[in-house]
Amino acid sequence: MRTEESLDGVGINPTYVANSILRRAFNDGIPITPMKLQKLLFFVTCLYQRATHRHLLTESFQPWKYGPVCAAVYDEFKVFGGQPITRYATDAKGYATGIDEQHSPALANALDTVWRSMKYCGAVELSRLTHVENSSWSKAIQKREPFIDNAEMANDHTFDHLLKEPKQ
């Protein structure tokens, strides 16, 4: 898999971050469905934006019925339905690109924290977690917004109780 060297301040392609989550899943042998990938990507984005006060992705999440969805990632993996994803997202030339995490410690930390804390959670459990009162998803639904506000995502602490500290 090719790597994207760094974030440029305007956001990064969501499939690159999704591929970095998938790399962890494939390496650990943990099945990940498209729905689970969406929720993990959402939580990674929340943590990254909270830590850096910058947008992570070039695309905003939409408040769909079963939780936050990034359309580019949905379109890439919808062929899997409710089954585990078995490949990386690729571009028109067939290249899979992930993040060079050495050049983005804040993103590496968000990816590691979410993966360590939620890798064994099911897609439905993660979806329910996005639906809790005062979550950024629930606020967008209440306001009938077409997208979930990035500032609301950065301030979304409704899932913090699941985050595990790294073992020393």
Supply the pLDDT for residue 6.
45
Supply the pLDDT for residue 148.
97
Supply the pLDDT for residue 113.
97
The structure tokens 């830590």 sit at 51
- Ramachandran angles phi, psi of 45, nearest 5°: -65, -45
Query: Residues in the chain with pLDDT < 70?
Result: 1-9, 165-168
Percent pLDDT > 70 in the chain is 92
Q: Quick count: other Cβ atoms within 10 Å of Cβ 155?
A: 15
Supply the pLDDT for residue 5.
45
Supply the pLDDT for residue 150.
94
Structure tokens belonging to residue 152: 């609301």
For the entire predicted model, the pTM comes to 0.93
Chain-centroid distance of CA 87 in Å reads 17
